[in-house]
Amino acid sequence: MKNILMICLLIPFAACNASAQSDPNPAKTRALELRGALDSISKTGEASQASWDATRTAIDNYQKEFGVSAATTNNIVLLRKFELSVAKRFSDPARYKALLAQLAADPLHAVAEMAGQQLAVQKRLADLKTQPVDLQFTSLDGTAVDLSTMRGKVVLIDFWASWCPDCIIEAPNVVAIYEKYHDQGFEILGISLDEDKAALLAFAKQNGMAWPQYFDGKKWNNKISRDFGISSIPAMWLVDKKGFWASTHGGEDLAAQVEKLLKAP
């Protein structure tokens, strides 16, 4: 199956699909095939140079073959969006940055804008390595939250949503760690990608999530999550006592990471 998929990526659509001429919507069919190729990479973690080159070439060829029109624009944007998401997870940083630079010059404005936004996020995250994290918001209960006032504490910034299955599974563990380490200087700031405020409040109350929550009801267009380039949740980012990023993989053995940061000067 994998070899067939690679062949379909490398050769023209009409040659790969014998029924192309009778297909009433070949652009949609081809887009679904390409989405399947990207999904295969996502599920297997396959990120070889050959697989990436084949996938990127195939999407380029799709755009050339079918052109940019009202019927194809959405397909192209969705393919590029998924391509970036998969590349961010499995490709090395240099190749991901090169892909962003390529797409930032794409003739399709929506694609160029999307890539440009991600380049800006990459620059911001790089800058964060040399300066404290800047984060302020008003929480659901009306409290003004300013990360700069939490110096001396370890802070988890938890990007999540009550509709997210993995977030629901992880919630009891996060609450338990908060209760264990809070008195030692551990804080959590929730950045909710919920659309339903009532559902968020009910879930937080039911599960004892007593920390501040940012909510704007915009789901994946949530302002703070977009600023930090969040493309999947749960995403748990840790900030050290000096206000700098300590980890963007807080979900991996969170308790041990928190304990280590609390013991640091």
Q: Is the pTM of this model over 0.85?
A: no
Question: 174 pLDDT exceeds 70?
Answer: yes
Query: Which is more confident, 36 or 179?
Result: 179
Q: Are 170 and 117 part of one and the same domain? A: no
Question: 14 pLDDT exceeds 70?
Answer: no
- Structure tokens belonging to residue 115: 């890539």
Q: Are 145 and 66 part of one and the same domain? A: no
Q: Are 104 and 179 part of one and the same domain? A: no
Mean pLDDT across the stretch 28-54? Answer: 72
Question: 182 pLDDT exceeds 70?
Answer: yes
Domain final residue, candidates 127, 154, 189: 127
Q: Are 155 and 76 part of one and the same domain? A: no
pLDDT band at 48 (very low <50, low <70, confident <90, very high): low
Q: Average pLDDT over the chain, rounded to whole?
A: 83
Q: What local confidence, expressed as pLDDT, does residue 46 receive?
A: 54
Q: What local confidence, expressed as pLDDT, does residue 166 receive?
A: 92
Question: 87 pLDDT exceeds 50?
Answer: yes
Question: 170 pLDDT exceeds 60?
Answer: yes
Domain final residue, candidates 100, 127, 154: 127
Percent of the chain with pLDDT over 90: 42
Instruction: Return all residues near 47 (Cβ < 8 A) that are at least 6 apart.
Output: 41, 90, 91
Q: Are 115 and 143 part of one and the same domain? A: no
Amino acid at 248: T
Q: What local confidence, expressed as pLDDT, does residue 245 receive?
A: 87
Q: Are 22 and 110 part of one and the same domain? A: yes
Q: What local confidence, expressed as pLDDT, does residue 145 receive?
A: 97
Mean pLDDT across the stretch 118-146? Answer: 86
Query: Which is more confident, 122 or 207?
Result: 207
- Structure tokens belonging to residue 192: 């909710």
Question: 44 pLDDT exceeds 70?
Answer: no
The CATH number assigned to the domain holding 226 equals: 3.40.30.10
Q: Are 98 and 157 part of one and the same domain? A: no
Q: Are 97 and 185 part of one and the same domain? A: no
Q: What local confidence, expressed as pLDDT, does residue 73 receive?
A: 84
The 8-class DSSP code of residue 187 comes to E
Question: 12 pLDDT exceeds 50?
Answer: no
Q: Are 83 and 184 part of one and the same domain? A: no
Domain count, the chain: 2
Each residue's pLDDT tens digit, 51-77: 667 777 888 888 888 877 777 888 888
pLDDT band at 28 (very low <50, low <70, confident <90, very high): confident
Q: Are 14 and 123 part of one and the same domain? A: yes
Q: What local confidence, expressed as pLDDT, does residue 150 receive?
A: 96
Let me know the angle formed at the C-alpha of 117 by 68 and 62, rounded to the nearest 5 degrees. Answer: 25
Q: Are 197 and 256 part of one and the same domain? A: yes
d(CA 244, CA 246) in angstroms, rounded, equals 6
d(CA 189, CA 75) in angstroms, rounded, equals 36
Domain final residue, candidates 74, 99, 127: 127
Question: 175 pLDDT exceeds 90?
Answer: yes
Domain that holds residue 95: 2-127
Q: Are 240 and 143 part of one and the same domain? A: yes
Of the candidates 241, 141, 225, which has an alpha carbon nearest to the alpha carbon of residue 187? 241
